[in-house]
Structures are given as structure tokens and as C-alpha cells.
Structure 1
Amino acid sequence: MTKTPKPAPRPGRRARGSTTGRPIMVLLDLLGRRWVLRILWELRGSPLTFRALQAACGGLSPSVLNSRLSELRDTGIVEQRIDEGYALTEQGRELLSQLAPLTAWSEKWARSLA
């Protein structure tokens, strides 16, 4: 049985946790999908080809990677560059910079639990 992929989340459309499609809820739906954060993390430097990105993510099936990349392209966070592979767009880089405070907080939190 083939699973129908979820459409890429869009503000204004129903999303997991929101019937109204509030932008923050749509973003959290997208970021909460399996492998999305890892893909974004691996693309933080230079562009990666499909195979290089799959290897960097370790254990990610080609079909799931293809699905996630499609969602991330549809939402303007990742782009596919000819002869370079996949890369973060300006919006994608801005999104990662907005996540930096969460990284700092999580490290502080982890130390407090140690």
C-alpha cells in the first residue's frame, strides 16, 4: 500500500495543530516532519547533491529524502541548483539563524540536567 504524501504546509491552510493555518503552526508542522531539521542542518554549509545529502543524513531513504526536499522547495526554504545540488535559500538561511537561540538554550538546558 502506497502512502499519499502530505502536501507541503502553507500558511492559511490547515496544518497539524492548527485548523486556521497560522504561520507559526504551519512552520512547526513543517519542521516537525521526520528528517526536515536534519536536512536543513546538513545544508547549513555548501550545497549538497542528492546522494551526498542522503549520506550526510545517514539512514534516510531516497523516497523520504525526495519527499522532504520537495516540501522544502515548495515552501521556499531549499532550492535545487544546477550542477551544485540542494542549498538553503535566503529564507532557509534566515530560518536557521532564527533557530540559533534554541541551540544555545538547548545546550544550557542539557548542562542543567547533567
Structure 2
Amino acid sequence: MTEHIYDEECRRFQASAETVGKRWSGGILMALYLGSTRFSEILGRVEGLSDRMLAQRLRELEAEGLVERDVIPTVPVQIRYALTERGTDLMRALQPLAAWGQRWGTPARV
């Protein structure tokens, strides 16, 4: 007997895949997972990513609850980004996909 895939499961899977699969999101999440915290560090790790697009994607990932923004009131003000618990859990779940990509994937197009 096989299990049926229900509409709600499909919608949740599709929404998750679209969040991660959106251009630049995966690279940004990976940079944060590897320890980058500042805007410039993330920008330096994700080749081809513009300032404007990084700012937009960080806002989207923050709205999804995957990234948190911490404003440190120093002079000048420092802003640091980090994965939330939800974001870290997502990156752990994606590790098998990353391993598959290392073995079978083609080089990414920028």
C-alpha cells in the first residue's frame, strides 16, 4: 500500500523549495551557515551578487523567519545577520542536497 501525497503537503513542499530556490537565496543562506555575519562578508562570499539584491533577499529571508538582523548601537552602527533556529534547521536539512550537488551537479550559472 502506498501513501498518498496530500495537497497541503504539496503546497508546503513547493513553498519551501521556492524560498530556497529563489536566485541568490541559497548562496546567502550558505554564507550565513558558514559564519558570515556582516553584509560585506556575505557579499564577498556570493560571487555575482549585487548590494541591492543582497539587501532585498535578506529582507525576504528575514520575513520568512530564516534570518535575523541585529543592529548594534555603536559608532558607526553595526548590523549583523545570523540564521535563526528555523534557518539553521533548514540548512541542516539541505546538507544531503548539497552533497548530491557536489557529486552529480553541474557548475552553477551566474
Q: Please report the TM-score for the alignment, with normalisation by the length of structure 1.
A: 0.70
What do residues 26-75 of structure 1 show as CA deviations (whole Å, max 9, x unaligned)?
11111121100000110013341112211221321111111100110000
Which SS does the other structure have where 1:92 is aligned? helix
Please give the root-mean-square deviation of Cα atoms over the aligned residues, in Å: 2.1
What do residues 58-94 of structure 1 show as CA deviations (whole Å, max 9, x unaligned)?
3211111111001100000000122351110000000
Which is helix-richer, 1 or 2?
2
The alignment status of 1:46 with 2:41, answered yes or no, reads: no
**Other-structure match for 1:3:** none
- Of 90, 95, 101 in structure 2, the residue corresponding to residue 95 of structure 1 is 90
Give the letter aligned to residue 86 of structure 1: Y
Q: How many residues align?
A: 91
Q: Which runs of 5+ in 2 are unaligned?
A: 1-9, 73-78, 106-110
- Of 41, 52, 60 in structure 1, the residue corresponding to residue 49 of structure 2 is 60
**Other-structure match for 1:106:** 101
**Fraction of identical pairs, as percent:** 36
Q: Which runs of 5+ in 1 are unaligned?
A: 1-20
Q: Please report the TM-score for the alignment, with normalisation by the length of structure 2.
A: 0.72
Greater length-normalized contact order (CA 8 Å, ≥ 6 residues apart): 2
